[in-house]
Amino acid sequence: MLIGAHIWINKGLVSAVETANLLGCNCFQIFLQNPRSWKRKRRNSNEVMKFREKVKNYKISPVVIHMPYILNLSSPDREILKKSRELLEYEMIEAEQLGADYYVIHPGSHRGAGIDVGIKNLVESIKPFVRKKPEILVENTAGHGNTIGGRWEDFVYLFEKFGGDIGICFDTAHTFQAGYDIRDEDKFLEMLEMIDNKLLPKGILVVHANDSGSPLGSHLDRHQHIGEGFLGRKTFEILIKDRYIGTLPFIIETPKMDIEADKKNLDILKSIEKRYHRL
């Protein structure tokens, strides 16, 4: 099973790969810098080289980079949009240098300008980076306020434009918070079929495996430890035993307490995998 965690890089990129390896991850996700700041420091080329070397030695694949929260790629505000696009460009160059496979973006907020305006801005924002490395994955959201991506239909235009040159990052907690009851296997399969038909067959390429700290349809983005939230362990059994979803990288973004908490969450997923795939 492809299984990993979002790892903090406060001790540097090389230490992050080591932590991933220590946790038994064969894939992982990082931010490149402080996700709530516009400021960027230039990265030392030696660190980049060492990062790539470690990733290769530990056979970690895919390497996933997550966009900083501060960007709004669908903003109607020209200034914010410009700043966001400039930072995205900076990030994409760095992600490519690091040999990352996927770059996960949040679709952003239209801030009341309307979903069509937001999506059009989003399309223009990611256009320069499509068909390049790393591949852009759009993450679904809890659909709070004017946030785009709470309904899978929000992505139709995006996939009409870019087809299979982009992919989807499916966040289990956001999906549930947005109103899709994936605790029910029939409803989960119905949702997958809808994604296959309306967006792109097999368009989901990464799973953010998080239990939900808030109820169905609450539109509140709260992550919880696996098995301790509103989704419960049973939901992750449904996902892992699915013939397609179960083959994808599962990356936890559960609350960061300590390394033991990450380990415990990963162990639960691994034990489900053992049961259903009989490794």
Quote the tokens at residue 131: 């068909």
Quote the tokens at residue 251: 């990356």
- Considering the complex, state which of residue 221 and residue 273 has its C-beta at the smaller distance from Zn ion: 221
Shortest gap between Cβ of 235 and Zn ion (angstroms)? 15
Shortest gap between Cβ of 254 and Zn ion (angstroms)? 10
Place of tokens 């924002």: 125
- Considering the complex, state which of residue 94 and residue 253 has its C-beta at the smaller distance from Zn ion: 253
- In the complex, which residues of this chain contact Zn ion (CB under 5 A)? 171, 208, 253
Quote the tokens at residue 54: 């470690």
- Close Cβ partners of 229 (under 8 Å, ≥ 6 residues apart): 173, 210, 211, 212, 213, 223
Nearest position to Zn ion, beta carbon: 208
Burial 223-232 (b: 16+ CB within 10 A, else e): bbbbbbbbbe
Provide the β-strand partners of residue 105: 138
- Considering the complex, state which of residue 54 and residue 265 has its C-beta at the smaller distance from Zn ion: 265
Shortest gap between Cβ of 75 and Zn ion (angstroms)? 20
- Phi, psi angles (nearest 5°) of residue 167: -135, -175
CA distance linking residue 182 with residue 187, whole number of Å: 6
Shortest gap between Cβ of 14 and Zn ion (angstroms)? 24
- Considering the complex, state which of residue 54 and residue 91 has its C-beta at the smaller distance from Zn ion: 91
- Considering the complex, state which of residue 2 and residue 14 has its C-beta at the smaller distance from Zn ion: 2
DSSP class of 123: H
The closest of 120, 111, 9, 140 to 63, measured between CA atoms, is 9
